[in-house]
């Protein structure tokens, strides 16, 4: 069983156990996965093969924006393979790989900052799922991310707007960070938006503000700022099972629902998604091979774009709010009819996780364009 596939919702709510390790020094370049000007996972090859329905392939280099005027601050999901309860501050291949997949594309819109942080590890998750006692400190990651953001604000921000980006455990950390360090504080004026993928963000039923975040509404247009985009994704062909970890409040929360904002249609409704898939087995290894993107085509670029293949809609189904992802497959054309993204155990899909592994990838180009639009709107509002 590849437990490293599973996110850390339960542990984020577990009681903190005091740790004595010193705080990381975010003045040191090695404390960051990504920083502007560094050779790091966010500055490497992000070339993309665009594969259309007739298997025509065109190359896009996804170049970094020239002198971007906004920043992105990214917190990665549960990927650390360290054997300790909390991870160390040395980037392992999984942390590097997920930054390449989830953060590097945003360099088209912003300067990208991505701190290493001492997250609760996969080993701890495995122990907890097996009923063993755990000694991880789930608050350590929040403390580290808060320290990294403070260092960024002091030394790098210089009044710039910033987009907060997270997935899974990273989204949970950022949600707590917004609650504790952003809402009601002067710095809130500099938050262009927050993209919190793969995490249950609660809002009052039928409302866009309230619940987990008291003053930060859901984004409903590409020019709205100071707002949040949140979603969990499921295939439209698979029901959301009663024991699903996503789409429903995990504990009794009368009047509350899990937020869903479709990155491709913030106001609601059904819309084509613009995926940017990683050209390997996945963001993490789920034991299945990478798809053959099109018959007769070998793809060697790190990313693959599949225009027209996916459609998404935020839907309330099986008593859950999810981004329902449809694959517009055509067996008669040469392009792939499927995508990876399910959690697999023993070769079988674990339906309660939905498409958690590709929550961000299914709409990555929508998110990058949204970052550009919201960034421009924020700059206009301030006459910059």
Q: What is the mean pLDDT of each run of 10 residues along the chain (384 residues)?
A: 38 43 90 96 95 95 95 96 93 94 97 97 80 89 97 98 98 98 98 98 97 98 98 97 90 91 98 94 64 91 96 97 97 92 82 94 98 98 92
Q: What is the pLDDT of residue 299?
A: 93
CB of 215 closer than 8 Å to CB of 184 = yes
Q: What is the pLDDT of residue 291?
A: 77
DSSP state, residue 155: I
Q: What is the pLDDT of residue 8?
A: 41
> Which residue has tokens 């009601």?
184
Predicted TM-score (pTM) of the model is: 0.94
Rg (CA), the chain: 20
Helices and strands (H and E) in the chain: how many: 6, 18
CB of 96 closer than 8 Å to CB of 81 = no
DSSP state, residue 380: H
Q: What is the pLDDT of residue 258?
A: 97
Q: Measure the CA–CA gap between 379 and 192, rounded to whole angstroms.
A: 9
Q: What is the pLDDT of residue 287?
A: 60
């Amino acid at each position: 069983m590849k437990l490293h596939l599973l996110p850390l919702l339960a542990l984020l709510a577990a009681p903190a156990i005091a740790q004595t390790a010193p705080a990381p020094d975010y003045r040191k370049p090695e404390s960051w996965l990504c920083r502007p000007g560094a050779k790091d996972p966010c500055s490497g090859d992000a070339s993309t093969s665009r594969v259309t329905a007739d298997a025509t392939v065109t190359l896009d280099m996804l170049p970094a924006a020239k002198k971007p005027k906004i920043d992105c601050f990214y917190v990665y999901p549960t990927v650390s393979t360290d054997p300790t309860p909390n991870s160390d501050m040395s980037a392992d291949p999984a942390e590097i790989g997920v930054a390449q997949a989830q953060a590097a594309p945003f360099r088209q819109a912003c300067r990208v900052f991505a701190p290493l942080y001492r997250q609760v590890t996969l080993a701890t998750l495995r122990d907890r799922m097996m009923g063993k006692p755990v000694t991880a400190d789930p608050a350590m990651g929040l403390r580290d991310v808060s320290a990294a953001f403070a260092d960024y604000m002091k030394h790098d921000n210089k009044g710039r707007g910033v987009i907060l980006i997270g997935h899974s455990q990273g989204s949970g950390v950022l949600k707590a960070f917004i609650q504790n360090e952003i809402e009601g504080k002067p710095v809130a004026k500099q938050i262009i938006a927050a993209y919190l993928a793969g995490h249950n963000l609660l809002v009052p039923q039928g409302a866009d503000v309230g619940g987990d975040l008291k003053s930060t509404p859901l984004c409903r247009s590409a020019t709205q700022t100071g707002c949040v985009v949140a979603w969990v994704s499921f295939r439209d062909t698979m029901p959301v099972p009663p024991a699903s970890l996503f789409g429903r409040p995990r504990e009794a929360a009368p009047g509350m629902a899990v937020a869903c904002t479709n990155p491709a249609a913030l106001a609601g409704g059904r819309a084509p998604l613009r995926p940017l898939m990683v050209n390997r087995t996945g963001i993490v290894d789920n034991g299945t091979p990478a798809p053959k993107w099109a018959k007769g085509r070998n793809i060697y670029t790190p990313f693959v774009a599949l225009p027209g293949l996916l459609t998404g809609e935020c839907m309330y189904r099986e008593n859950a709010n999810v981004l329902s992802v449809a694959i517009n497959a055509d067996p008669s054309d040469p392009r792939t009819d499927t995508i990876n993204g399910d959690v697999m155990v023993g070769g079988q899909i674990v339906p309660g996780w939905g498409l958690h592994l590709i929550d961000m990838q299914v709409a990555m180009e929508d998110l990058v364009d949204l970052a550009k639009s919201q960034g421009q709107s924020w700059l206009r509002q301030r006459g910059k």
